[in-house]
Amino acid sequence: MKLVKKKIFQDFIAARGLKSTRQRDVILEAFLDSDRHLSIEELYLHLRGGNPTIGYVTVYRTLKLFAESGIAREFQFGDGQTRYEHVVKGEHHDHLVCVRCGAISEFSNDAIEAIQDEIATSHGFHIQYHKMELYGVCAACAAEAVEAL
């Protein structure tokens, strides 16, 4: 899967007449090695740990490229930072976001997706993408809250 995504990005780079650079390689590697929903800054700070260092702006631009190429999705979970996760086209899932600890978990449900299509159709609306996020308290935080009593 990691190799598939690398290939997709390489092809995208080639098709657009862009260049392959050390920075893009490093960022791609780190991005694919993560299973989190990373903000630009998080990835940037992570990369600063290694050597040589890569600029914030390059991380920013590269994540945008990932999204354009189809190997990443961009999100706004309401914490003021844009986040990215790597995905492959065709696959889809939505999110549960803990308002206490920020943990993000994933789910997908075909029934909901089907109903969404029906709703769109009945409105003469052509869906391009959707956003579905459930905000609340995760199991771990709920347990913690109980302990604290």
Q: Any contact of residue 8 with its own copies (CB under 8 A)?
A: no
Burial class (CB in 10 A: 0-12, 13-18, 19+), 48: middle
Q: Any contact of residue 97 with Zn ion (CB under 5 A)?
A: no
Q: Which residue, 32 or 54, is less far from DNA as judged by CB? A: 54
SS3 call for 104? strand
Pairwise CA distance, residues 129 & 33, whole Å? 26
Picking from 94, 104, 100, the residue whose alpha carbon sits closest to that of residue 137 is: 100
106, interface contact from Mn ion, Zn ion, DNA, none, CB < 5-8 Å by kind: Mn ion
127, interface contact from its own copies, DNA, Zn ion, none, CB < 5-8 Å by kind: its own copies
Picking from 69, 82, 101, 73, the residue whose alpha carbon sits closest to that of residue 41 is: 82
Give the one residue of 137, 146, 147, 148 binding its own copies; rule: CB under 8 A: 137
Give the one residue of 3, 19, 90, 128 binding DNA; rule: CB under 7 A: 19
Q: Any contact of residue 45 with DNA (CB under 7 A)?
A: no
Q: Which residue, 106 or 144, is less far from Mn ion as judged by CB? A: 106
Burial class (CB in 10 A: 0-12, 13-18, 19+), 64: middle
Q: Any contact of residue 101 with its own copies (CB under 8 A)?
A: no
